[in-house]
Amino acid sequence: MKKISLLIFAALCTLQSFSQAKKPTIMVLPSDIYCLSRSYSMSFDNQGMSQTLPDYKKALQTDPDLRLVITKMGQIMADRGFPLKDLEQELKNLEQEGAEMAMLSSKSGASVAESPIDRLKRTAKADIILDLDFTIKKSGPQSYISFNLKGLDAYTSKQISGAAGAGKPSSVSAPELLLEEAVLSYMDGFNTGLMRHFDDMFANGREVKILIKTWNSTVDDLETEYDVNGETVELTTAIDTWLDENCVSGRYNRSDATATMARYEQVRIPLMKKDSKGIDRAVDTRSFVTDLRVYLTKAPFSLTSKVYQRGLGEAWLILGEK
């Protein structure tokens, strides 16, 4: 009991610290295999190729066991200091936002501009995904549940914690109670994995990806040379120097580079940064890359560029024009 109390206290302290930075959001999602094996899916064409993805709305509307299990998982996590973002409510909010946007118009009758990319990005997002798969099984007259729970960093798609197992056969038939019986003995270890991930972010920054590209209309490229503080350097080298100075402990990896592209992975960005007025501001992938864009607008580069955010953990900087 003492161990559990200490774990809860540590979790609360960590989340309290995150309230000053960009507080991470955590959401339970049914796993792809859970949805696709039960035909909770939707298909669409992506550049001539058919793609099938989970349909969370269909799953929640047609699978009462899933709704009960997600609710119970939210309660279990909240009791341990990890309040969750509700998937069902978030999907409703997105639908409401879409409906309001479709009806909104200016005095002249103009509608709100929304590109296909904007529509694609209006999806339920969270910093940490709790990927849940479960099956209710029978053992004679009794029931039990087997489960697989993975904690995934949505920025990097890396697994940061996990638990899998099965409960003991029980005469209880309610799926949420079967889940509680199955997972409680695993949750301390699972939450320890989440805490370890949060502690790593505090110490070493959040891990993201950055892609530098050029428009095909761009005159200069990443091999163009500039006079920087009396030294002639290529643009890629200047960007590397900026990352050296702005990443936490200078940690990043340039995994690939050509004259028109530079790919950076394992880029560690700070959770907080002081602005020009000395006020602490939360940092995310877009704001970090925007700072790089501003740096490149100044002499000797004087470059125009566009920031495009690709999900939570990746941003592109496209050089040459907006």
Res. 301: pLDDT tops 70: yes
Identify the band that residue 124 occupies on the pLDDT scale cut at 50, 70 and 90: low
CA distance 100 to 94: 10
Res. 16: pLDDT tops 50: no
Question: What's the pLDDT score for residue 312?
Answer: 82
Identify the band that residue 188 occupies on the pLDDT scale cut at 50, 70 and 90: confident
CA distance 30 to 133: 6
pLDDT, tens only, 135-171? 999 888 899 999 999 999 988 889 999 999 998 888 8
Q: Say if CB 222 and CB 254 are below 8 A apart.
A: no
| Cβ-based neighbour number of residue 71 at 10 Å | 16
Over residues 299-307, the mean pLDDT reads 94
Q: Say if CB 35 and CB 55 are below 8 A apart.
A: yes
φ and ψ at residue 198, rounded to 5 degrees: -60, -45
Question: 2-6, 71-75, 98-102: lowest mean pLDDT where?
Answer: 2-6
Q: Say if CB 162 and CB 150 are below 8 A apart.
A: yes
CA angle, 100 then 102 then 53, to 5°: 95
Identify the band that residue 115 occupies on the pLDDT scale cut at 50, 70 and 90: low
Q: What are the structural domains, with CATH classification, of the chain?
A: 18-92+116-203 (3.40.50), 205-319 (no CATH)
What percentage of the chain carries pLDDT values higher than 90? 47
Question: 89-98, 173-182, 216-225, 241-250: lowest mean pLDDT where?
Answer: 89-98
CA distance 120 to 127: 18
Identify the band that residue 100 occupies on the pLDDT scale cut at 50, 70 and 90: confident
CA distance 269 to 239: 15
Res. 322: pLDDT tops 60: yes
Give the predicted TM-score (pTM) of the model: 0.77
Question: What's the pLDDT score for residue 243?
Answer: 97
Res. 24: pLDDT tops 80: no
Of 125 and 213, more confident: 213
Over residues 236-253, the mean pLDDT reads 96
pLDDT, tens only, 40-97? 988 877 666 777 888 899 999 999 999 999 999 988 888 888 888 898 888 888 888 7
Res. 130: pLDDT tops 80: yes
Question: What's the pLDDT score for residue 174?
Answer: 87
